[in-house]
Amino acid sequence: MLRNDKVKSLLDELQIDALLVSHLPNIRYLTGFSGSAALVIIAKNKDYFITDFRYKDQSAAQVKELR
């Protein structure tokens, strides 16, 4: 089970529509991204990874499952 899937099961359990993750160690845990600026939104139907242009290549290499 992917780590995001574990979070999604908790979303259902707690009746929450989405979770915004901004703490970088948690982003690293969920995505593998090691940059210094990012956000992750985990929703029931889709996940989003947000970062700025400086990390285009790095995020493409490190964040596979949120594309």
**pTM for this model (two decimals):** 0.85
pLDDT at 1: 43
Kindly provide the b/e burial profile for residues 18-37, where b requires at least 16 CB atoms within 10 angstroms of the residue's own CB. Answer: ebebeeeeebeebbebebee
Which three-class secondary structure state does DSSP give residue 56?
helix
φ and ψ of 47, to 5 deg = -110, 150
Query: Is CATH 3.40.350.10 the classification given to domain 3-62?
Result: yes
User: In sequence order, which residues have a C-beta less than 8 Å from that of residue 36 and are 6 or more positions away?
Assistant: 24
Please give the pLDDT value at position 66: 67
Could you tell me the residue ranges of all domains in the chain? 3-62
Summarised one tens digit per residue, pLDDT across range 10-64 is 998 999 999 999 999 999 999 999 999 999 999 988 899 999 999 999 999 999 8
